[in-house]
Amino acid sequence: MSDLKNKLEQLLGKSRNIPNIEPVEILSSVDANEELLREGIRQNENLFGTFWQRDKEFNAEFEYGQCTIGDFIRLPASKLALIAGSVDYQNLIPEDLIFIDTETTGLAGGTGTYVFLVGLAFVQDQTLQLQQYLMPDLRHEKAMLTEIERILQKKKCLISYNGKAYDIPLLKTRMTLNRMSFPFESMNHIDLLYVVRRLWKKKLASCSLDSVERTVAGITRINDVSGSIIPSIYLDFLRNRSIAPLIPVLKHNVQDLLTMSAILVLISRLFEDDVSVLSGDPVWIFRMLCKTNQDHQALMIGSESSAIKFKRSDLNSLMIEKAKLLKRQRRFLEAVELWNSCISTSLIMEEAYRELAMFYEHVAGDFDRAMTIVQAFKQRIEIHRELYPDSTRSFDEQWQNRFNRLSMKISSRDKFS
């Protein structure tokens, strides 16, 4: 029997987050029910048991940080497609979206971790409806998950913060263990953490939600419960059945959802003409515009009117991206202008030198000019190595082959001229 037990634990995973707590009855006393109602929590039932639900509504005028709920409600599908970097999102409207945030019994994940609270937020009747589903007892997990599944099946796109790596895999595990279908497979998913990292990782010490909330969204929480102690708060609730300590957890979950809506709006503003100083990575903005077939608008980024908003290193990287687009469009003279600008403002930008050498050799047929570019790059490499002895940059075999090839072409031309 012990061997069988060990094998089952290996397959299903032995919980390291939840102690052996005997199931207890759902709160049923008059005092307990009054406590639930006082906190806006109602007790619901379905075929699989009992779950608690708490609803909140935020109208369009509600302000949160630098945004209002109306800013999100009015978010055009074109902006959503830009953030996602895919034309697949261009037909979505705010009513198709649903924010999701979970609170769990452990931060490590795995089969031993339960999702005890799921917060959802979506647009309905020009308001943001926020619904929280709380598991009152471990035995009633399937009841809560079934309700979550029912709601998600009505939506087309998830929005989360680190949901792809944490919330969604954990929900999938819990639903699988409860022999349930998994509604997320067919849904689009925008994980704002990936977008935030691409935009602001060079500017922020941390891309955690609370850090981005303070630094980018300008939101400071007051008396917020630390996420690290939330698992222990729920475990204490399972033992003593006191609702009061869970209320700060519910408020924390609400703020997470509101913050996600604010971050989404702030990111969408980066694609407007008046880009803020915290505009982040202009290359990311450029690429998202290209991915959604907005090449003309992409080429406007970093123009004279907005170049002052970017650091020189970011601007050079942007010019390389713009030159690639111009090259694809066979607008070579404009691309050459950008490549020349890069090599004049940077000690060493290998891609610009390489593109110029390729253009003059293979497109313009100007071997002398191509050789000048190659030799200039070699000189820059030598200077760079003197300044940075540990640098791995070199005039490598590819460059040497280009030098030899151009030498032969020039020699052959001069021989027969």
Q: Residue 399's pLDDT is what?
A: 93
Give residue 2's pLDDT band: very low, low, confident or very high (50, 70, 90): low
Smallest CA-to-CA distance from 371 within 382, 359, 357, 385 is with: 357
User: How does pLDDT run across 288-302, given as a tens digit for each residue?
Assistant: 888 878 888 788 776
pLDDT-above-90 percentage for the chain:
56
Mean pLDDT (whole number) for 108-122: 89
Residues 389-410 pLDDT 10s:
888 888 889 999 999 999 999 9
pLDDT tens digits for range 310-326: 677 778 888 999 999 99
50-70: average pLDDT? 95
Q: What is the pLDDT of residue 375?
A: 95
Residue 10 has pLDDT above 60, yes or no: no
- pLDDT surpassing 90 at residue 334: yes
Q: What is the DSSP letter of 224?
A: P
Q: Is the pLDDT of residue 274 over 70?
A: no
Nearest to 83 by CA among 327, 266, 324: 266
| Spatial distance between the Cα atoms of 50 and 133, rounded to a whole number of angstroms | 11
Among 50-54, 186-190, 349-353, 377-381, which range has the highest average pLDDT? 50-54
**Given this model, what pLDDT does residue 313 score?**
78
> Tens of pLDDT along 222-254?
999 999 999 999 999 999 888 889 999 999 999
Higher pLDDT among residues 134 and 277, named by residue: 134
Q: Which residue has the higher pLDDT, 90 or 125?
A: 125
Tokens for 250?
Answer: 């519910």
Segment among 81-95, 159-173, 371-385 with least mean pLDDT? 81-95
CB-based contact 236:19 (threshold 8 Å): no
- Which of 98-107, 323-332, 345-354, 405-414 has the lowest average pLDDT? 345-354
Q: Assign 273 a pLDDT band (cuts: 50, 70, 90).
A: low
Please give the residue that has the higher pLDDT: either 306 or 16: 306
Q: What is the dihedral of CA 309, 313, 319, 325, to 10 degrees?
A: -110
Q: How confident is the model at residue 14 (pLDDT cuts 50, 70, 90)?
A: very low
User: In degrees, to the nearest 5, what angle opens at C-alpha 82 toward C-alphas 81 and 85?
Assistant: 80
Residue 81: what pLDDT?
87
pLDDT at 20: 46
Give dist(CA 105, CA 18) in Å, integer.
7
Question: Highest mean pLDDT: which of 33-42, 147-156, 194-203, 275-284?
Answer: 147-156
Q: And the tokens for 103?
A: 């609170």
Q: What is the number of other CB atoms lying within 10 angstroms of the CB of residue 121?
A: 25
User: What residue ranges define each of the domains in the chain, with the CATH number in brackets?
Assistant: 9-269 (3.30.420.10), 282-415 (1.25.40.10)
Calpha distance 373→269 (Å, rounded): 40
pLDDT of residue 53: 97
Query: Per-residue pLDDT for 169 more than 50?
Result: yes
User: Out of 16-25, 83-92, 304-313, which region has the weakest mean confidence (pLDDT)?
Assistant: 16-25
Residue type, 35: E
The more confidently predicted of residues 139 and 24 is 139
The reported pLDDT for the residue numbered 12 is 46
To the nearest 10°, report the CA torsion of 171, 175, 180, 186: 20
| β-pairing verdict for 67-68 and 97-104 | unpaired
Sheet of 188-191, strands arranged across: 41-46, 49-59, 127-134, 115-124, 97-104, 157-160, 188-191
Residue-level pLDDT at 336: 95
What pLDDT, on the 0 to 100 scale, is given for residue 232? 95
Q: Is 113 helix (H, G, I), strand (E, B) or coil?
A: coil
Model pLDDT for residues 198-226, shown as the tens digit of each residue: 888 888 889 999 999 998 888 999 999 99
